[in-house]
Amino acid sequence: MMKKNILFIAITILSINFSIAQEKLPIDLQKSTIKWIGEYTFYFGGHDGFIDFKEGYFIKENDIITGGEFIIDMNSMTNSDIEEQVGKDNLIDHLKNEDFFEVEKHPTATLQIKKVEYWKNNNGRIYADLTLKGITKPIYFDAHFNYKEKELKTRFKIDRTKWGVNYQSKVKDSAISDAIGFEVFIKL
């Protein structure tokens, strides 16, 4: 009788572990992209460029994405809208200094997915914690999951001032928007 109870408990524990098994899915760093977009508040224009993932993965449970963590290399920031190299270098140096992201002190940013809510056609809302400049704040954004192609696409904006990026915020006439846009493509 005791052996049967132990066997039943062992089978139950194994069944529970298999039913909630998690799989860690590393992203393809070469094919995944993050485009950043900074705009002016009162007139059209601004700057954009790219920044690289340093590492990242999704957590998959029961055939759907339920979590993940992504580390962004702040030193990889580039510009794509300025033509001359000196202008590109000046902008990137400015974005990396204490006016913006203090990259020397904070060389990485982190996004940790806490929860995903799904609705039809593989669309969902991702709830995550974003850490920039050592400050962690919750964010959420909508995303499209393409399980067949093993891809995720999303576009969202954050209020940079929540992470202490306050340069020319609320300055009349030439203000830089407090919103920073991101277009993210992730490939497994």
Residue 149 lies inside a defined structural domain of this protein: yes
Residue 78 lies inside a defined structural domain of this protein: yes
Share of the chain above pLDDT 70, in %: 86
Q: How would residue 8 be classed by pLDDT, with cut points 50, 70 and 90?
A: low
Count up the domains in the chain and report the number. Answer: 1
Residue 7 lies inside a defined structural domain of this protein: no
pLDDT of 102 higher than 80: yes
pLDDT of 41 higher than 90: no
Residue 63: predicted pLDDT: 84
Spatial distance between the Cα atoms of 67 and 43, rounded to a whole number of angstroms:
38
Residue 130 lies inside a defined structural domain of this protein: yes
Residue 1 lies inside a defined structural domain of this protein: no
Q: Of 86 and 169, which is predicted with more confidence? A: 86
Residue 167: predicted pLDDT: 80
Q: How would residue 56 be classed by pLDDT, with cut points 50, 70 and 90?
A: very high
Residue 16 lies inside a defined structural domain of this protein: no
Residue 17 lies inside a defined structural domain of this protein: no
**Domain housing 31:** 23-187
Spatial distance between the Cα atoms of 167 and 26, rounded to a whole number of angstroms:
35
Average pLDDT, the chain: 89
Mean pLDDT of 79-105: 94
Residue 18: predicted pLDDT: 47
CATH of the domain at 158: 2.40.128.110
Residue 14 lies inside a defined structural domain of this protein: no
Q: How would residue 42 be classed by pLDDT, with cut points 50, 70 and 90?
A: confident
